[in-house]
Amino acid sequence: MDSPLFNAPPFDRRAWPMGGRLDYWTAPDGWPIRRYQLGDGTRGRMLLLGGRGDMIEKYLEVIHHWAERGWAVTTFDWRGQGGSGRLTADSMTGHIGDFADWIADLNALAADWRDQGHGPDVMVAHSMGGHLLLRALAEGMPPPAAAVTVAPMLDVHSAPLPRWLAVAMARAMLCLGRGERQAWTQKEGSERQRRMRQKRLTHDPDRYADELWWRDHSRDIALGPPSWTWVSQALESTRALAEGDAIDRIATPLLILATHADQLVSTPAIRRVAARIPGARLHIYGREAAHEILRELDPVRLDALARIDAFLDEVAA
């Protein structure tokens, strides 16, 4: 897909854009959620939801892109990651006791966001954020004018383990009282180890290096592997969403982008769920795209942005 974005000037991915506002939104229970806002909103308002282990800094490039197109973009760090504090003594463990806590945060934050302005309101969500967005919509969250999910976590890619064994292992660890412990190690001590992790996320070594740079320069936002409780919750929440019938009633105009080569989330599960949502549009990339489609090499990244922009221009007038 041709795009004028190929002619865009370079963006400094290691600096905050001018004119943005970084602050904290307070959840109903008092938990501080780090939030960032950029853009004048002449086009409308966008809520951007990151994935597991993400922090706002990873998405400054796409936030800037949509702000330049006139969207007032709001994004945030999920409770327990990024700059929104931690839920265990080990600051590098990605933990949540119940995905319902994130759904409650999303519902409350989205309600405040919805009251802040006028014009079309849209939501864009990556990976775990995509799952949480679809679950919230299925459970009755007031829908936006349009939604986009990018590599949504509609099931966990558990290979080489079969799903049933992953479920059994997670349950066993919870029974042994190891729910807050890391479910695996994230080795990045050598160039080879970093390269292996990078290939699971993106083919772009420079954008992957940006993530490491932000983590090194702001250690309080760095996060490592998830806890066993997170794994158990992810397996249970995706199963419940897939087996329930509420997802069939989602009426929000929806675009889903995914990739055949995803090693973190299940592409077959994405296909199955997309087929059940009335009017959902699905585009699946090939081996040219890894999990972080919006942080891929420019041919993929710019194509994805162009598809999203065209979709929003069509359905969120």
Superfamily of domain 20-315: Alpha/Beta hydrolase fold, catalytic domain (3.40.50.1820)
HSE of 177 in the Cβ direction (CA atoms, 13 Å)? 0
Q: What percent of the chain has pLDDT over 70?
A: 97
The structural domains of the chain, with segments of one domain joined by +, span 20-315
Per-residue pLDDT at 183: 95
- At 246, the pLDDT band (50, 70, 90 cuts) reads very high
pLDDT higher than 70, residue 5: no
Distance CA 22, CA 220 (A): 15
- Write down the pTM of the prediction: 0.95
- Model confidence pLDDT, tens digit, residues 265-297: 999 999 999 999 999 999 999 999 999 999 999
Over range 58-82, report the average pLDDT.
98
